Amino acid sequence: MPILKIARMGHPMLTRTAQPVPNPEGPRVKQLVRNMVETMKDADGAGLAAPQVHVSRRVVIFQAPPERSLPGLGEEEAFDHSAPLTVLINPEIDYLTEEMEEGWEGCLSVPGLTGLVPRCAHIRYRGYDTEGTPIEREARGFHARVVQHECDHLDGILYPQRMTDLSKLMFTSESRHWAEALAQDLPLEEEL
C-alpha cells in the first residue's frame, strides 16, 4: 500500500472544511483508510485525518498506544491505551463538560514542534466505520485529546490555533529542557 504525502502547515488543504463521506462502505473509502493507516504508522503518528493526505473528506483514524509519550512531560501526558486503532467516518463530538485540560500535542502536519493545548476533558464521539457500523464512545485524557485534534483537521484547524500561550510552542527536541527546568523548579531564563 502506498505511503501518502502528508500536507504541512501552510498548505491550503489544511485550512478547508472537509466534505461528508456519502458512503462509508465504499471501496474508495476503504482504500483511503488502508493507505492512511500505513501512512500514520510509517510516520509514527497517533492519528491522521484525510485532509492531511490531501483528501477533503470527513475521515479520521487514531490510536493511543501506551508506549507513546513525550519524554519528561509527566504521567498525565501518557497515551490512553483504551483507544484502539479506530476509523471514524463523518465524526461528531459532544462536549460533556466545560472542564478543560492542557496537554502537549504534536502533529504530522506541523513536524518538529509541540505545543501546550487546552482541550475538553470529557467527550462523546460518534461516527461510522468502513462497514457502515455506527461507533459511539466516551473518552477522557489522551483519548479525548487525539479525537478532538484529528476532528479539528476536518474543520481546517491546526493545534497552534487552539493554543492560548504561544510561548509554549517549541521544537520537540527542546521539550526535554522545558520539562527538566519545570521538574527542578529552575527559572526558564538565565538571570544576569
DSSP the chain: -PPPPPP-TT-GGGGSPPBPPS-TT-HHHHHHHHHHHHHHHHTT-SEEEGGGGT--BSEEEE---TT---TTS-GGGS--TT--SEEEEEEEEEE--S-EEEEEEEETTEEEEEEEEEEESEEEEEEE-TTS-EEEEEEEHHHHHHHHHHHHHHTT--GGGG-S-GGGEEEGGGHHHHHHHHHTT--SS---
pLDDT at 80: 46
* Pick from 177, 160, 172: nearest CA to 69: 172
* pLDDT, mean of residues 31-47: 95
Distance CA 81, CA 85 (A): 10
With a pLDDT cut of 70, the percent of the chain lying above it is 84
Residue 93 has pLDDT above 70, yes or no: yes
CB 130, CB 90: distance < 8 Å: no
pLDDT at 141: 87
pLDDT at 72: 42
Query: Which residues belong to the active site?
Result: 150
Please compute Rg for the chain using Cα positions. Answer: 17
User: Residue 182: which region, alpha, beta or left (left: phi > 0; alpha: psi -120 to 50)?
Assistant: alpha
Domain architecture of the chain: domains with CATH: 12-183 (3.90.45.10)
Mean predicted lDDT score pLDDT of the chain:
88
Q: What's the whole-model pTM score?
A: 0.86
